[in-house]
Structures are given as structure tokens and as C-alpha cells.
Structure 1
Amino acid sequence: MDNIDKRNRLDDEPFNFRVTKDNTVFLDYYGSQVKVLKGTEAEKFLKKINAAENTTQEQLIMAKITGNFKRGNERKI
């Protein structure tokens, strides 16, 4: 775990998620929606999140699922 987040960016907890009644998962990055998970993809995500031992592991799971979405040209809201 120490080699994964060398700059400690996950300590700020930039990722958040919301689950709807029909188990649709919305992943947010600093309050902006970046990914929507439905069906089996959402079920797998929720199992991983429930198995996480702490918030840093939860943040890492969300970071891996969102993938490489940042390119450096995003506007600040």
C-alpha cells in the first residue's frame, strides 16, 4: 500500500460514491460525477467497498475503477 499512493493524494479523500434504490452507483471526484456503474459492475464494486478495511482502501478502489480520466485540462468548478 505504501508504494501505491506515494504523494498521499488519497488522504484528502477526493472520491465519493452514492447508491440509488436500484443499485446504480455514482462515483464522484471532488464533487463532480466521473463514472456510473450499473448491474454486475455495481455489485462487484459494492462487494469490494464493503470488504475494504479503511477509507484509504476505499479511495484506492474508487481510483482504480474510475481509471485514467484526468488529463490536466479540467476546469475547476
Structure 2
Amino acid sequence: MSDIDKRNRLSEEPFDYQITKKGTVVIYYEGKQIKNIKDREAERLIARIKEVEENITAVQLLLAKITGNFKRGNEKIGKMKSK
């Protein structure tokens, strides 16, 4: 088992991406848009994805790393406070 994905979450393929005509990359997590990547960072990401596109887990890992720590478990609390 890899030390990176101990809970085996990336095998469920939670991340998805779309490359637009303008060259930006839109990243989705479980169907919800979470991040837009533009310019040089997008070019680098597209190149890295094309290098490892046969390995789905590697693509998922790239997308997880670029989104960072966006999910902390307090999303429901934040939504309830704003209402």
C-alpha cells in the first residue's frame, strides 16, 4: 500500500478535470467545481497529466496535490452559519 493514499480514496476517482479552449484547467471534486487553473500553471499541469494519463491513480494524485487542502470537514457548519 502506498504511503500517499493510505485510505485508498484516489481509487474511487473523486477528481475530474476539463481543459477549456483558452487553455485553462477546471478541476472538479465529486462533480462540483473547486478550482480554476490558468496560464503557466495550467500549461505545466496539462503537460504532467499527458505524461501519466495511462495511470489513473497518478492523475488523481496530481489533481489532489494541485487543489491542496480544500476539504477540512467543516463545510456543513459554514453553510448553516450563513443562513
Q: TM-score, normalised by structure 2?
A: 0.85
Aligned to 2:38: 38
SS of match in other structure, 1:65 = helix
In the alignment, structure 1 segments of 5+ residues that lack a partner are none
Q: How many residues align?
A: 75
- Kindly indicate whether structure 1 or structure 2 has the higher relative contact order, using CA contacts under 8 Å at least 6 residues apart: 1
SS of match in other structure, 1:44 = helix
Q: TM-score, normalised by structure 1?
A: 0.91
Runs of 4+ with >4 A deviation:
none
User: Matched residues in 2 for 1:55 and 1:47: separation?
Assistant: 15
Amino acid at match of 1:66: T
Amino acid at match of 2:6: K
Amino acid at match of 1:70: K
Deviation sequence 1:39-68 (CA, Å, 0-9, x none): 101000001101114000000000000000
Backbone CA RMSD of aligned residues:
1.2
In the alignment, structure 2 segments of 5+ residues that lack a partner are 77-83
